[in-house]
Amino acid sequence: MVRLYKIDNPVADWHSWRQADTASVTRIYVQNGIDLLHPRYHDISNIASGLDNPQGWRFVEFPIYNALHAVLYKTYPAFGIDKWGRLTSVLCSLASTVFLSLLGRRLWGSREGVLAAFFFAVLPFNIYFSRVILPEPMAVMFITISLWAFARYVYTEKFWGVVISGAALSLAILVKPYIIFYGLPIFYLAWAKFGFRKLLWNPSLWVFLCLAAAPFLLWRSWMWRENYLVGIPHWAWAFNGDNIRFRPAFWWWVVEERLGRMILGVWGVLPFIVGLLVKPQGKYPYFLHILVGSQLIYASVVATASVRHDYYQTLVIPAVSLTLGVGTYALWTSHEFSKQIVRLAIVGSIAAALFFSFYQIKEYYKINHPEIISAGSAADKLLPRDAVVLVPYNGDTAFLYQTKRRGFPFITYPLPEMISNLGAQYYVSVNFDAQTKQAMNQYKVMEQTDKYVIVDLTHKKQ
């Protein structure tokens, strides 16, 4: 229910540029059919990769999410493609909630599992990022399934657990390669169960490794073919492109701002820390510490991306939720202090954490530039379906997505070259800057309001 809040939002809210890129692949699948090996999107500029991309190749994540999105949309088109994109993420998030509960029950107990599922379901940060049109919710779903199935395997030694875990991990890595850091707690479970020597000679684990790695290696080898390099965006910057790793600013943004304030709402820090300090018990006592540590390593490796884009923290939510579940149950059953006072403090802390977190996250739902929606709708009505549009919006593809046309979100060459060499046919703008006025003066204006203008670049004024 909480994920249905503003489910009708157009793709113009927080991180709309990234959502637009993802939804754009789906829209082309709906129009031209699903082709998993040749994903395309509407941006045909050279902004993402530095190379001209006239075919609009989009080789980032393996497009499982887009295929499911397209199939769901075709089952009931009345919902619209944007709403179905959000609902696809919601469905993935609900599955994650179930398997996180099962994982917690397997490793700690049913109450810890339910509490972990509760936090995963209601953390405002996770609510927002599990109803956006992004592949992260699907990656989280697959990794929770993988962790649960592998935990079942180390307890029961049934081969199906390895198969399900390996297959789910391979899908998670295909959707979001950074999920590989969750392999550390999986390795810990195998090592704690079998020991290092037996682990090396266990055929089931070799099957698991092959299942997990082979599809990703095949996909990457396909991506790196010469024809598709133009569709691979710049990626080296994500690791430490601005040398921020382990600097004070890194710790401020990742730990203080994102984890402490946005995810835990300050007041949730207490049960989180208690979860890490609870005396290790059971067959796999350090699983939680390895799990949280793996996510700290993840944030440190992709340091620049973790600081610049908060949706990178979506992947850490399962680890955070499990820690909160363990910590909350430990406090609830503690006999060190007055039971009534402690429980009242827990309830108050959780309520405060959710309130203060939502107070920040609610800004993410806002549509700050509704004019791009109006302009995009007008362009969709006026322009031919196969039109190539020039939509200058500082490289942000959210505006281009609203037009439902292929084109350029930035003027990368002089306007005459964009027309003659790259095939730009129409100019749509919500900014009446010097560049836009030049286009209006030289070419035919098709429609103009106080919010936007549409210019026909195929008809030059005399």
Q: Are 266 and 390 in the same domain?
A: no
Query: What is the rounded CA–CA span in Å between residue 294 and residue 311?
Result: 17
Q: Are 264 and 404 in the same domain?
A: no
**Residue 380 maps to a domain:** yes
Among 313, 329, 364, where does a domain finish?
A: 364
Is this model's pTM higher than 0.75 or not?
Answer: yes
Least confident of 329-338, 365-374, 425-434: 329-338
pLDDT band at 281 (very low <50, low <70, confident <90, very high): confident
Query: What is the rounded CA–CA span in Å between residue 317 and residue 308?
Result: 18
Mean pLDDT of 261-283: 92
Q: What is the pLDDT of residue 227?
A: 79
Q: Are 240 and 359 in the same domain?
A: yes
Mean pLDDT of 210-215: 96
Residue 431 zone, left/alpha/beta (φ > 0; ψ -120 to 50; rest) = beta
**Residue 247 maps to a domain:** yes
**Residue 434 maps to a domain:** yes
Q: Are 297 and 414 in the same domain?
A: no
pLDDT band at 336 (very low <50, low <70, confident <90, very high): confident
Give the chain's domain count.
2
Least confident of 74-78, 292-296, 299-303, 412-416: 412-416
Q: What is the pLDDT of residue 31?
A: 95
How distant, in Å, are the alpha carbons of 35, 240, 246, 257, 304 from that of 307? 34, 10, 11, 10, 5
Q: What is the pLDDT of residue 310?
A: 93
Task: Say what angle helices 159-175 and 64-75 make with each other, to 10 degrees.
Answer: 90
* Residue pLDDT, tens place only, 375-398: 999 999 999 999 999 999 988 999
Token pair of 290 as six digits: 């390895």
In order, the DSSP letters of 159-171 are HHHHHHHHHHHHH
| Residue (of 251, 2, 218) closest to 127 by Cα position | 2
Q: Evaluate whether 160 touches 120 at the Cβ level (below 8 Å).
A: no
Q: What is the pLDDT of residue 198?
A: 86
Query: What is the rounded CA–CA span in Å between residue 246 and residue 272?
Result: 22
Query: What is the rounded CA–CA span in Å between residue 298 and residue 313?
Result: 10
pLDDT at 462 over 80: no
Question: Alpha carbon 295 to chain centroid distance?
Answer: 15
Among 335, 364, 393, where does a domain finish?
A: 364
Q: Is 408 helix (H, G, I), strand (E, B) or coil?
A: strand
**Residue 42 maps to a domain:** no
C-alpha dihedral, 285 to 291 to 296 to 299, nearest 10° = 180
**Residue 288 maps to a domain:** yes
48: DSSP letter = T
C-alpha angle 399/74/366, rounded to 5°? 35
Q: Are 217 and 303 in the same domain?
A: yes
Mean pLDDT of 275-304: 93
Sign of CA dihedral 48, 49, 52, 55: negative
Burial class (CB in 10 A: 0-12, 13-18, 19+), 111: middle
Q: Are 232 and 319 in the same domain?
A: yes
- Per the prediction, the chain carries an average pLDDT of 94
Q: What is the pLDDT of residue 38?
A: 95
Q: What is the pLDDT of residue 316?
A: 97
**Residue 314 maps to a domain:** yes
Query: What is the rounded CA–CA span in Å between residue 221 and residue 229?
Result: 11
Residue type, 49: S
60: DSSP letter = S
pLDDT band at 282 (very low <50, low <70, confident <90, very high): confident
Q: What is the pLDDT of residue 135?
A: 96
Token pair of 154 as six digits: 């180390």
Query: What is the rounded CA–CA span in Å between residue 230 and residue 51?
Result: 5
Q: Are 291 and 390 in the same domain?
A: no
Mean pLDDT of 59-82: 95
Structural domain span for residue 440: 371-460
Q: Are 340 and 377 in the same domain?
A: no
| Residue (of 350, 176, 213) closest to 269 by Cα position | 350
Q: Are 335 and 437 in the same domain?
A: no
Q: What is the pLDDT of residue 196?
A: 85
Q: Evaluate whether 399 touches 42 at the Cβ level (below 8 Å).
A: no
Q: Are 131 and 230 in the same domain?
A: yes
Instruction: Report H helices in 335-385.
Output: 339-361, 371-382
For residue 389, what are the β-bridge partners?
A: 407, 426
Q: Are 430 and 399 in the same domain?
A: yes
Q: What is the pLDDT of residue 197?
A: 84
**Residue 84 maps to a domain:** no
pLDDT at 226 over 90: no
Query: What is the rounded CA–CA span in Å between residue 370 and residue 362?
Result: 17
Sorted by sequence, the CB contacts under 8 Å of residue 205 that are 6+ apart come out as: 162, 190, 194, 199
* Residue pLDDT, tens place only, 418-461: 999 999 999 999 999 999 999 999 999 999 999 999 999 998 88
Among 364, 388, 417, where does a domain finish?
A: 364
Q: Are 343 and 382 in the same domain?
A: no
Mean pLDDT of 112-126: 97
Mean pLDDT of 13-35: 95
**Residue 131 maps to a domain:** yes
